[in-house]
Structure 1
Amino acid sequence: MMRDLLPHFRRRLASPEAALPYAVLGIVAGAVTAVLMILFRLALEWPLAYWLPGGSAENFEGLRSLWHFALPFGGALLLGMGLQFVNPIHRFTGIPHVIAALHNGRGRLPPGNMITQFIGGLVALLSGQSGGREGPAVHIGAAASSLFGAGLRLPNNSLRVMSACGTAAAIAASFNTPIAGVIFAMEVVMMEYTVAGFVPVILAAVIATTLSQAVFGAIVFLPAGDVNMSSLLELPFIALLGCLGGVLSSVFVLIQSRCLRWANRPVWLRLGIAGFVTGLCALAAPQVLGIGYDSLQATLDGSYGLQLLLILMLLKLIATSVSCGMGMPIGIIGPALLIGAFAGGAIGQLGAMAVPTLAAEHNFYVLMGMAAVMGAILNAPLAALLAVIELTHNLNIIFPAMLAVIAAQLVHRELFKLQSAHQTTLLATQQAVRANPVTLTLLRTSAAALIDRNLRHVAQKPDAETLANLLENPVRWLVITNAEGQRIIVHREHWFPVLSEVDEKELDSLDLLAALENRRRTAAFDINGTLMEALETMNQEGLDSLFVTARRQRRGPPDEGILTREALSDHYNLPIRF
């Protein structure tokens, strides 16, 4: 029974509207990702808790001053030397790699890149590099989910969905933020919102959060208290904070883009420079080392003065932007939150000095800054809002944070004319993605959903009995294989009238390719491919038709059909030529 079930399951997945099969994929992707996230987090936190003073996995500040420089610099050199022996195509990691794979690479994420990300991310974070664990988490979760689907030979359009599920599950399991994980997957990775797409992604986030909480508990990462805006008169001040967040995110991306120009230099040199810069910054302020959630909590608690906040904001921005631009396999969400928190804390203290009776509590502005900088750097305002809400469990910030996030977004995109940090990386590595509605629509559906299976294979010179049977039971498409092994197809409206008029005496000597007009050449196409891939194949080959088949089918009758440019046009009401 299972032999028949899997082919049927694959065929159902060809359409993006198959809610139940996609729900199953979401559950599987959530479970697979959660297990890997738990392993990754334990592999990171246990050694740090053992090595660092005080038994805290964040206490890089407790190390002797010499280690503040030696640890990130030595770790970066070690990682760079190791990556020298890795194939260059397997060095591209992180969220940009996932985005590129989903939009340009059929949703398939190579296992080599995932292994590089898992090991490289651990080495980088264990050595105190200025970055977050969400970049490695998203890559590992998306790749593991995609590979699981590829192992079952699922259609490429469903692999994209599984990667999105892995993304949401990774964010949810890593930070106990299921809603932010869902929105991040749709807003940043998939770059679209669809009702059908939410079903598997939400289920993946729920499953991953459940398993993560079973191991680590239902932890509030950043308890901030019940803070709120004290007066509507603060709104201009909040807008100003948002503008500052946009300036900081723009400086971050500008530094990153300059460092990306070194992409063709040896990897040991690039990572060595990143470690050297991070080490220098850490000598001045060791709080820049590591993920930095202890520093984030200290900022929320008001433990840092104004001068220290400004220094930390500047040094964290420099260390992280250089590291990301040089190719360090780390994430930027955590540092973005930290940079925003330092900026918000500084603005809050300045506001309290200027208008002590009007300003809200300092940690209110910390939360505003976190949302503003994260939203602008990622070009993901909604994901940033929800992330801050879920990390702090504070719903009071929604209204004012919306203003801060949009102000930062406008400054980043309109004043400085910049893309997100991830899009900047993709442009620098010549992997720009197309996110227009037509492309996304075609990527969402497999060729199997649109092929015409009403066909019959015939020889170029068939016998009279075959021809008589064709006339008695006409099919829509004749598939004729010529002497060169190429498949030629003819539609019924062209072959049926001709064969109907052929004299019975001529049937045995009839050459179909000579007798029939309106023949179409085809190219072979994998049934698991998306409609976008099919359209690109047609354009590259200069054809209007494809012969679609399951190339690796092991048993049963072949699942094959004809896909034409006209079928694409009729189904989506698109122009024939693109």
Structure 2
Amino acid sequence: MALAVMVGAGAGAGSIVFRWCITAFTHLFSGHADYAAAPGTGNPHVPWLGPYFVLIVPVLGGLLYGPLVNRFAKEARGHGVPEVMLAVAQRGGRISPKVAVVKTLASALTIGSGGSVGREGPIVQIGSALGSTLGRMTRATEHRMKLLVACGAAGGIAATFNAPLAGVFFAMELILGTFSAEAFGATVLASVTASVIGRAAFGDAAFLELPAFRVDHFAQYGLFALLGVVAAVVGVGFARVLYLIEDACDWAWRGPEWLRPAVGGLALGLVLLALPEMYGVGYPVLEKATADGYAVGFLLLLLVGKMLATSLTIGIGGSGGVFAPSLFIGAMLGAAYGTGVHHLLPGTAGSVGAYALVGMGAVFAGAARAPITAVVILFELTGEYSIILPLMLAIVLATVTSRLLTRDTIYTLKLRRRGIDLEGAAPGARIGAQQVGSVMDPLPSSLSASTELTDAADLLGLSGYGALPVVDDSGQYVGVVTAQAIAEALTEQPDAAPAEVGRLAEMPARVTTDQPLAQALHALLSAAGTGVPVLDPAHGSPVGWLSHQSALRAVHTAG
């Protein structure tokens, strides 16, 4: 707990330094505290260039951060969160301490010189690197090392957005990928500590000034539901465009990597000249969109422009996050959608700002599939409890639609393109790569769903298994029943216990013969019994049984 507080304090201090660097470099390169607030104006440092200075500053910024990243910490390139997820999943939480310093400077230079990226990815990586460094210094176990990395991520998000709850859920939902009392307690301590430090430096106001939210008509919930589905398509599309442009940049560039951001800065400069609202993070533009300050056509232009500018910034080797661009894109989509339905249904649609707010959360949920984080951060930004119902509706639908469209998120897709599966074995690992079909045991005899509970208890006791598969009268697999479930039903509620075992059958996590063992272990560890059925991937019927003993036997053989 003491270490969690220390990591939170370090993340809070890091966020202050990082934001100061962004402000300083933005003023140095553009002559403004935030050029997106005055797009198209000249730079007072070089007034004779007028608005054309944006053609030069991305090149100058690239000349500074390109060699820095290439020489000292190549993992500081890009949006940062996938690297932290990989460190926790497969590297024991180990992150080089150099990353904190290099990421701070590289991301601040990228954003300050016009890069259209966010600051949440960098601060997550900065805070996580601080947590990992402290874990090494105190010789923490691997479990605690991962927890300290998550604490750093939580503290960074909390201090940057003045959203302590969002920091906690971001760390558990995206970085750790699991929820536990210990993780919750540690990340809360880190998040609160970082928030206190952040508020002392930046004040107690939210980092965005957003309009009040209300639902004017019950029919709006149907409109919000449709927005959630559309937002999922846009969020998934953003991820595809991001990596498509990154592939195009990889294909086109043949020179040294340290020079790539400077040369690519010429293309980014052309985008900024055509659409100066894309300069930097773009919060002033986002705020204006939520206040119904733009026409529908320009909102859609800003949406497409942000996708292009963010993708190009990362594709040329820039350093920055995709969380804020996701919010930006969602705000443009929601505002355009809200304006459209307001013209079609003026008495029902309600305010445009409401759709912009819901669109922000829904597009992020569609891109990252982190629904809890999306709900919490938008709630913390607005402080309006009335946002919860439509926000939850749109975000859940966006998450479900996104899962139907693609297996990857905007974060995991970056890793999968490099051949890394976070749920599989680490590259080069000696164990865990075997397919489940090669290590599973024979399938034990199944129970009929119509078997009486007392008879099922006897059969389970004789089988030597703590659980058995259950099939219906037609032989179709319906789930697994555990000895514990039967015992609880017979002892705790004997009068209300179901007559047949099929009523107690539950469907465990799906394990198939073609899955890697390392991936199937997650399902095995979460199973209530001593094993799980292994299914035929083509037909979904049980063909084998994966137990703790068979998994350990495979590990021992591989070792």
Matched, 1:138 2:124: yes
Matched, 1:292 2:269: no
Matched, 1:32 2:10: yes
Kindly state the Cα deviation for residue 151 of structure 1 after the two structures are TM-superposed: 1.0
Q: Deviations over 1:425-481 (max 9, x none)?
A: 111223331279xxxxxxxxxxxxxxxxxxxxxxxxxxxxxxxxxxxxxxxxxxxxx
- The residue type equivalent to 2:233 in the other structure is V
Pick aligned residue for 2:92 from 106, 123, 126: 106
**Equivalent-residue separation in structure 2 for 1:113 and 1:421 (angstroms):** 22
SS of 2:56's equivalent in the other structure is helix
**Equivalent-residue separation in structure 1 for 2:115 and 2:97 (angstroms):** 24
Kindly state the Cα deviation for residue 385 of structure 1 after the two structures are TM-superposed: 1.2
Q: Taking structure 1 as reference, are residues 400 and 87 closer, same or farther at Cα in structure 2, changes over 3 Å only?
A: closer
- 2:234 is aligned to 248
Matched, 1:369 2:359: yes
TM alignment of 1:114-513, pairs within 5 A: 114-261=100-247, 266-268=256-258, 270-272=260-262, 275-415=265-405, 417-434=406-423
**Equivalent-residue separation in structure 1 for 2:314 and 2:206 (angstroms):** 28
Q: Taking structure 1 as reference, are residues 174 and 412 closer, same or farther at Cα in structure 2, changes over 3 Å only?
A: same
SS of 1:230's equivalent in the other structure is coil
- The residue type equivalent to 2:171 in the other structure is A
- Give the conservation status (yes or no) of the 8 Å contact 1:260–1:325: yes
Q: Deviations over 1:483-508 (max 9, x none)?
A: xxxxxxxxxxxxxxxxxxxxxxxxxx
- Give the conservation status (yes or no) of the 8 Å contact 1:131–1:291: yes
- Give the conservation status (yes or no) of the 8 Å contact 1:77–1:275: no
Kindly state the Cα deviation for residue 81 of structure 1 after the two structures are TM-superposed: 4.2
- Give the conservation status (yes or no) of the 8 Å contact 1:93–1:114: no
**Equivalent-residue separation in structure 2 for 1:44 and 1:365 (angstroms):** 30
- Give the conservation status (yes or no) of the 8 Å contact 1:229–1:360: yes
TM alignment of 1:552-571, pairs within 5 A: none
**Deviates most, 245-254 or 55-64:** 55-64
Kindly state the Cα deviation for residue 112 of structure 1 after the two structures are TM-superposed: 2.8
- 2:542 is aligned to none
- Give the conservation status (yes or no) of the 8 Å contact 2:364–2:374: yes
**Equivalent-residue separation in structure 1 for 2:361 and 2:202 (angstroms):** 25
**Equivalent-residue separation in structure 2 for 1:43 and 1:187 (angstroms):** 29
- Give the conservation status (yes or no) of the 8 Å contact 2:55–2:269: yes
Q: Deviations over 1:123-159 (max 9, x none)?
A: 1011010001111100010101110120121112111
Report the TM-score, using the length of structure 2 for normalisation. 0.71
SS of 1:406's equivalent in the other structure is helix
- The residue type equivalent to 2:410 in the other structure is A
**Equivalent-residue separation in structure 2 for 1:374 and 1:38 (angstroms):** 25
**Equivalent-residue separation in structure 1 for 2:552 and 2:318 (angstroms):** 43
| Aligned-pair Cα RMSD in Å | 2.8
**Equivalent-residue separation in structure 2 for 1:428 and 1:82 (angstroms):** 25
SS of 1:232's equivalent in the other structure is coil
- Give the conservation status (yes or no) of the 8 Å contact 2:235–2:366: yes
Q: Over alpha carbons, which structure has the higher Rg?
A: 1
**Equivalent-residue separation in structure 1 for 2:138 and 2:36 (angstroms):** 40
Matched, 1:577 2:547: no
Equivalent residues, number:
426
Q: Taking structure 1 as reference, are residues 429 and 115 closer, same or farther at Cα in structure 2, changes over 3 Å only?
A: farther
Identity of aligned residues (%): 29
**Deviates most, 268-277 or 331-340:** 268-277
SS of 1:577's equivalent in the other structure is helix
- Give the conservation status (yes or no) of the 8 Å contact 2:65–2:105: no
SS of 2:213's equivalent in the other structure is coil
- Give the conservation status (yes or no) of the 8 Å contact 1:243–1:408: yes
- Give the conservation status (yes or no) of the 8 Å contact 1:130–1:278: no
**Equivalent-residue separation in structure 2 for 1:55 and 1:326 (angstroms):** 25
- The residue type equivalent to 1:133 in the other structure is R
- The residue type equivalent to 1:283 in the other structure is L
**Equivalent-residue separation in structure 2 for 1:420 and 1:167 (angstroms):** 18
- Give the conservation status (yes or no) of the 8 Å contact 2:154–2:167: yes
- Give the conservation status (yes or no) of the 8 Å contact 1:93–1:116: no
Q: Taking structure 1 as reference, are residues 251 and 326 closer, same or farther at Cα in structure 2, changes over 3 Å only?
A: farther
Q: Taking structure 1 as reference, are residues 297 and 92 closer, same or farther at Cα in structure 2, changes over 3 Å only?
A: closer
Kindly state the Cα deviation for residue 214 of structure 1 after the two structures are TM-superposed: 1.2
- Give the conservation status (yes or no) of the 8 Å contact 1:92–1:113: no
Q: Deviations over 1:65-111 (max 9, x none)?
A: 21233222442354334444346566576111111111111111012
Kindly state the Cα deviation for residue 229 of structure 1 after the two structures are TM-superposed: 1.8
Kindly state the Cα deviation for residue 336 of structure 1 after the two structures are TM-superposed: 0.5
**Equivalent-residue separation in structure 2 for 1:362 and 1:73 (angstroms):** 38
Q: Taking structure 1 as reference, are residues 269 and 186 closer, same or farther at Cα in structure 2, changes over 3 Å only?
A: same
Segments of structure 1 that go 5 or more residues without pairing to the other structure are: 1-22, 437-531, 536-567
SS of 1:279's equivalent in the other structure is helix
**Equivalent-residue separation in structure 2 for 1:109 and 1:392 (angstroms):** 34
- The residue type equivalent to 2:12 in the other structure is A
**Equivalent-residue separation in structure 1 for 2:200 and 2:34 (angstroms):** 22
Q: Taking structure 1 as reference, are residues 87 and 404 closer, same or farther at Cα in structure 2, changes over 3 Å only?
A: closer
- 1:544 is aligned to none
- The residue type equivalent to 1:42 in the other structure is W
- Give the conservation status (yes or no) of the 8 Å contact 2:73–2:102: no
- Give the conservation status (yes or no) of the 8 Å contact 1:223–1:393: no
Q: Taking structure 1 as reference, are residues 373 and 569 closer, same or farther at Cα in structure 2, changes over 3 Å only?
A: same
Kindly state the Cα deviation for residue 260 of structure 1 after the two structures are TM-superposed: 4.3
**Equivalent-residue separation in structure 2 for 1:130 and 1:325 (angstroms):** 12
**Equivalent-residue separation in structure 1 for 2:179 and 2:416 (angstroms):** 23
- Give the conservation status (yes or no) of the 8 Å contact 1:221–1:392: no
- 1:6 is aligned to none
**Equivalent-residue separation in structure 2 for 1:87 and 1:426 (angstroms):** 18
- Give the conservation status (yes or no) of the 8 Å contact 1:60–1:128: no
Kindly state the Cα deviation for residue 268 of structure 1 after the two structures are TM-superposed: 4.2
SS of 1:421's equivalent in the other structure is coil
Kindly state the Cα deviation for residue 51 of structure 1 after the two structures are TM-superposed: 6.0
**Equivalent-residue separation in structure 1 for 2:393 and 2:55 (angstroms):** 39
Q: Deviations over 1:348-377 (max 9, x none)?
A: 111111111111111000001101111111
**Equivalent-residue separation in structure 1 for 2:259 and 2:223 (angstroms):** 43
**Equivalent-residue separation in structure 2 for 1:89 and 1:290 (angstroms):** 21
**Equivalent-residue separation in structure 2 for 1:116 and 1:24 (angstroms):** 27
